[in-house]
Amino acid sequence: MFTGIVENVGRVISFEEKKESWLLKLDIPFDGSDGMEAGASLSVNGCCLTFRADSSGVGSFDLLDETLERTNLGNLQDGHFVNLERSMPANGRVGGHFVTGHIDACGEIEIFEERGKNLYLQIKVPPTHKQYLVDKGCIAVDGCSLTVCDVTGDSFAVWLIPHTLGKTNLMSRQPGDRLNLEFDLLAKYVEKLAASSIEQLS
């Protein structure tokens, strides 16, 4: 479980197809003393990955084909930057919202521009997921917990403050880029329960 409060940014060292998986190696600012022992979970662009090994600040992760199909991690290249968040400790504060690290879909940047002192980011989502867009609701964008605004059809927007830009990789994004999206967990449970109730009544 994560909170969507990105702790740091890592850099892709290599991303190679191996016999049993795709092997992603990152330059990360965490080590075993930071809770990053083998088997630990790390949110990488919002996707929960299992930490395989650590050597002098290098973290290795195994990715399967399904992960590449459902996320933007398949687009990673050497030198790319990714958002990182360690799993939430039991006594930690939930500064953002509950994020599982299970990506629902990828969205595409439609608008990314300065408006006043902040940046306005508009994202188009697949039509199959637009029902989860609620004004002032929560959404995780590449692992960042953000507040939804300006919902129109299958698009929504978020405002990015300087702190978010300084702590994440979002500053390097541009229109046309794909972003990992995880919609509010509570909304998905409500949808499932409502559908089950309707089935029982019919």
CATH of the domain at 48: 2.40.30.20
Instruction: Kindly state whether residue 93 falls inside one of the protein's structural domains.
Output: no
Instruction: Tell me what pLDDT residue 32 has.
Output: 64
pLDDT value of position 116 = 87
Say what the pLDDT of residue 2 is: 95
Query: Which secondary-structure segment (H or E) carries 138?
Result: strand 138-141
Residues of the chain with pLDDT under 70: 32-33, 54-56, 202
Q: Is residue 35 a contact partner of residue 54, using CB atoms and an 8 Å limit?
A: no
pLDDT for position 202: 67
Number of domains in the chain: 2
Antiparallel, parallel or unpaired: β 58-63 and 47-55: antiparallel
**Alpha helix ranges (H) inside 108-181:** 162-167
Both structure tokens of 144: 């960042």
Question: CA-CA distance, 154 to 133, in Å (whole number)?
Answer: 8
The pLDDT, as a whole number, for residue 200 is: 74
> Which residue bears the tokens 């998905």?
188
Which residue, of 86, 115, 130, is where some domain finishes? 86
- The torsion of the CA quartet 95, 45, 43, 74, rounded to 10 degrees, works out to 160
Last residue of a domain, one of 86, 118, 140: 86
Q: Which helix (H) or strand (E) holds 69?
A: helix 65-70
For 60, the domain range is 8-86
Please tell me the predicted confidence (pLDDT) of residue 134: 92
Position 1 in a domain: no
